[in-house]
Amino acid sequence: MKLLLDEMYAGLKEYFEILGWDVITAQEAGLRGAKDRAVAEYALNNNLLLVTEDQKPAELAHLKGAKHVLISNAMIAKVADEKIREKYQELGQK
Protein backbone atom coordinates (compact mmCIF):
# COMPACT_ATOMS: atom_id res chain seq x y z
CA MET A 1 0.00 0.00 0.00
CA LYS A 2 1.34 3.40 -0.98
CA LEU A 3 0.50 6.51 1.04
CA LEU A 4 -0.55 9.90 -0.28
CA LEU A 5 0.33 12.54 2.30
CA ASP A 6 -1.93 15.58 2.12
CA GLU A 7 -0.10 18.91 1.94
CA MET A 8 0.14 19.50 5.69
CA TYR A 9 1.97 16.18 6.18
CA ALA A 10 4.59 16.50 3.43
CA GLY A 11 7.27 17.00 6.08
CA LEU A 12 6.56 13.52 7.44
CA LYS A 13 7.50 11.72 4.22
CA GLU A 14 10.94 10.61 5.41
CA TYR A 15 9.53 9.36 8.71
CA PHE A 16 6.96 7.18 6.96
CA GLU A 17 9.63 5.92 4.54
CA ILE A 18 11.88 4.93 7.45
CA LEU A 19 8.89 3.07 8.89
CA GLY A 20 8.71 1.10 5.63
CA TRP A 21 5.98 2.91 3.71
CA ASP A 22 6.08 3.85 0.04
CA VAL A 23 5.04 7.52 0.08
CA ILE A 24 4.13 10.32 -2.28
CA THR A 25 3.17 13.81 -1.15
CA ALA A 26 0.32 15.84 -2.59
CA GLN A 27 2.92 18.32 -3.82
CA GLU A 28 4.86 15.61 -5.67
CA ALA A 29 1.61 14.40 -7.24
CA GLY A 30 0.95 17.88 -8.63
CA LEU A 31 -1.84 18.53 -6.12
CA ARG A 32 -0.45 21.64 -4.43
CA GLY A 33 -3.46 23.82 -3.65
CA ALA A 34 -5.83 21.33 -5.30
CA LYS A 35 -9.46 21.10 -4.29
CA ASP A 36 -10.27 18.42 -1.73
CA ARG A 37 -12.26 16.43 -4.27
CA ALA A 38 -9.27 16.28 -6.62
CA VAL A 39 -7.08 14.92 -3.82
CA ALA A 40 -9.65 12.25 -2.92
CA GLU A 41 -10.09 11.26 -6.57
CA TYR A 42 -6.32 11.08 -7.10
CA ALA A 43 -6.01 8.74 -4.11
CA LEU A 44 -8.80 6.53 -5.45
CA ASN A 45 -7.58 6.50 -9.06
CA ASN A 46 -4.02 5.63 -8.01
CA ASN A 47 -4.89 3.12 -5.26
CA LEU A 48 -3.29 5.30 -2.58
CA LEU A 49 -4.18 5.62 1.09
CA LEU A 50 -4.77 9.31 1.83
CA VAL A 51 -3.36 10.60 5.12
CA THR A 52 -4.91 13.94 6.07
CA GLU A 53 -5.86 16.13 9.01
CA ASP A 54 -8.74 17.75 7.15
CA GLN A 55 -12.25 16.41 7.62
CA LYS A 56 -13.53 17.28 4.14
CA PRO A 57 -11.00 15.34 2.02
CA ALA A 58 -11.36 12.39 4.39
CA GLU A 59 -15.14 12.47 3.98
CA LEU A 60 -14.87 12.82 0.20
CA ALA A 61 -12.41 9.90 0.10
CA HIS A 62 -14.89 7.87 2.13
CA LEU A 63 -17.74 8.71 -0.24
CA LYS A 64 -15.58 7.88 -3.26
CA GLY A 65 -14.46 4.59 -1.70
CA ALA A 66 -10.81 5.66 -1.41
CA LYS A 67 -8.66 4.40 1.43
CA HIS A 68 -7.93 7.16 3.94
CA VAL A 69 -6.89 7.98 7.50
CA LEU A 70 -8.04 11.15 9.25
CA ILE A 71 -5.49 12.30 11.83
CA SER A 72 -7.60 14.50 14.10
CA ASN A 73 -6.39 16.89 16.76
CA ALA A 74 -8.06 14.63 19.32
CA MET A 75 -5.99 11.69 18.06
CA ILE A 76 -2.77 13.72 18.30
CA ALA A 77 -3.65 14.89 21.82
CA LYS A 78 -4.41 11.32 22.90
CA VAL A 79 -1.07 10.03 21.62
CA ALA A 80 0.77 12.93 23.29
CA ASP A 81 -1.10 12.33 26.56
CA GLU A 82 -0.16 8.64 26.53
CA LYS A 83 3.51 9.44 25.93
CA ILE A 84 3.59 12.13 28.62
CA ARG A 85 2.00 9.78 31.16
CA GLU A 86 4.32 6.95 30.15
CA LYS A 87 7.44 9.05 30.49
CA TYR A 88 6.43 11.16 33.49
CA GLN A 89 4.12 8.97 35.57
CA GLU A 90 4.99 10.88 38.71
CA LEU A 91 3.35 14.05 37.39
CA GLY A 92 -0.10 12.50 37.20
CA GLN A 93 -3.18 14.42 36.21
CA LYS A 94 -4.13 17.50 38.17
Say if residue 15's pLDDT is above 90.
yes
The Cα 78–Cα 67 span in angstroms is: 23
pLDDT digits (tens, 9 = 90+) for 26-60: 999 999 999 999 999 999 999 999 999 999 999 99
- What are the residues whose beta carbons fall under 8 Å from the beta carbon of 1, sequence distance 6 or more? 21, 22, 49, 67
> Structurally, how many domains does the chain consist of?
1
* 57 sits in which H/E element: helix 55-64
Q: How many Cα atoms within 13 Å fall on the side-chain side of residue 13?
A: 13
Q: Look at residue 94 and tell me whether its pLDDT is greater than 90.
A: no
* 93 band by pLDDT with thresholds 50, 70 and 90: low
Instruction: Reply yes or no on whether the pLDDT at 78 is more than 70.
Output: yes
How much is the CA Rg of the chain, to the nearest whole Å?
16
pTM for the whole structure:
0.86
pLDDT surpasses 90 at 80: yes
Structural domain harbouring 44: 2-91
Taking the C-alpha atoms of residue 62 and residue 93, their distance in angstroms, rounded to an integer, is: 37
